[in-house]
Amino acid sequence: MKQTEGLYSICCLSYNHGKFIKQAIESIIRQDYKNIEIIALDDGSSDNSADILKSLAKTAGVPMKVICQPNSGNIGANFNRLFAESSGQFVTFTSLDDRMIPDTFLKKINILKNDTNAAFVAPSLIKRIDESDNIDHKLCKSPVYDRRDLTPQVLLELLYQHTCDFYIQGAIFRRSIIEKCGGFDENQIADDLVLESRIFKYMENNPGLTFHILDEPGFYYRIHSSNSHKIKDRQLKSMITYYKEYWPDREPSPAFIKIVLESIGQRNINDIFNIFYLDEYMKNILCGNRQVQDAIAFAYERGGTQYGARYKKIELPLFRLEKYKDIDAGKKYFVINILGLKFSFSRKYTK
């Protein structure tokens, strides 16, 4: 679609956000930059989200288009559809459970207008708000906060290390950068990480492009029971697919391993087997990471003997030996604790 110069498109995604939609839309309309359009997509909500959006479109006072579709659960595909329906020179991707901080648009738009090489402007701070609209005044700092050494290469490294740079909800992107990097990957769950990775990689190859990080918040991140990051199964799958695609030649980062360890502690034996034995990438992580080996061993201790796995423990005063044998993989894993010092190792064995 041909872009309209100076127009700012806010691409909004909704799924069962009926309780928060009116505040979210109003926080956009009341901003200090008025040349905007709102494109909202409801992804098959089971509440009244679609009806609320249609009603708001009639009274918004700004161009507002509403798209309703059966539930897909594909955030990347939904944002791509929203982007395709928009025509602004500048664009933001946001969720309608979040809310914009007042008077945050104009400053960012002016930066993009004054620096025509700028691909995006993003905040490094986040304010949180709960389901009852109580604001947490303690600011959350993203990994880019107060950094003066940022380059596309550094931004990529921060994504690898922390699985986060900044929240895209508070960022404004130049339309052309979204087009040139290919938008969202519809085969990936980690929609924001993938978009940022694509943008940073494109900028690496086009060194004339710039960006701006503001050490201030740009939106209220809504904390509630249905936040997608709280769905542990989705979070783990998103990290697995992201690291496999974008960092295949590097060891998993400590942030990723932390998510893996948390996931093991919340799963039963069947789930653990499906994750670590049916996926070659995760099997390699198991074989190469002692922390994961320990966590799996303890999980099997809780769950007993299944899928050809054997777990044994010998415990004496000041000494403990734990042995986990994976018959299918032909490996033994050992955890030895002597006087509080822990050692882990593995070796092959003949079946």
Query: Tens digits of per-residue pLDDT, 87-142?
Result: 999 999 999 999 999 999 999 999 999 999 999 999 999 999 988 889 888 889 99
Query: Tens digits of per-residue pLDDT, 289-331?
Result: 877 877 777 666 655 433 344 556 667 777 777 666 655 556 6
Above 90 in pLDDT, residue 251? no
What is the distance between the alpha carbons of residues 178 and 195, in angstroms, rounded to a whole number? 8
At residue 150, the pLDDT reads 95
Range of the domain at 10: 4-228
Same domain, 187 and 275: no
At residue 309, the pLDDT reads 45
Question: How many domains, the chain?
Answer: 2
Burial class (CB in 10 A: 0-12, 13-18, 19+), 218: buried
What is the distance between the alpha carbons of residues 225 and 202, in angstroms, rounded to a whole number? 36
Above 70 in pLDDT, residue 236? yes
End-to-end CA distance of the chain: 61
pTM of the model: 0.81
CATH code: domain of residue 147: 3.90.550.10
Same domain, 146 and 281: no
Q: Which of 62-66, 238-242, 335-339 has the lowest mean pLDDT?
A: 335-339
Same domain, 224 and 255: no
Contacts of 49 (CB under 8 A, 6+ apart): 14, 15, 16, 17, 18, 21, 42, 96
Q: What is the mean pLDDT of residues 237-263?
A: 87
Same domain, 209 and 150: yes
Q: Would you tell me how many other CB atoms lie within 10 Å of the CB of residue 303?
A: 17
At residue 308, the pLDDT reads 40
At residue 304, the pLDDT reads 43
Q: What is the dihedral of CA 27, 29, 30, 36, to 10 degrees?
A: 120
> Would residue 233 count as lying in a domain?
no
Q: Which of 28-37, 101-110, 201-210, 283-292 has the lowest mean pLDDT?
A: 283-292
Same domain, 71 and 178: yes
Above 50 in pLDDT, residue 230? no
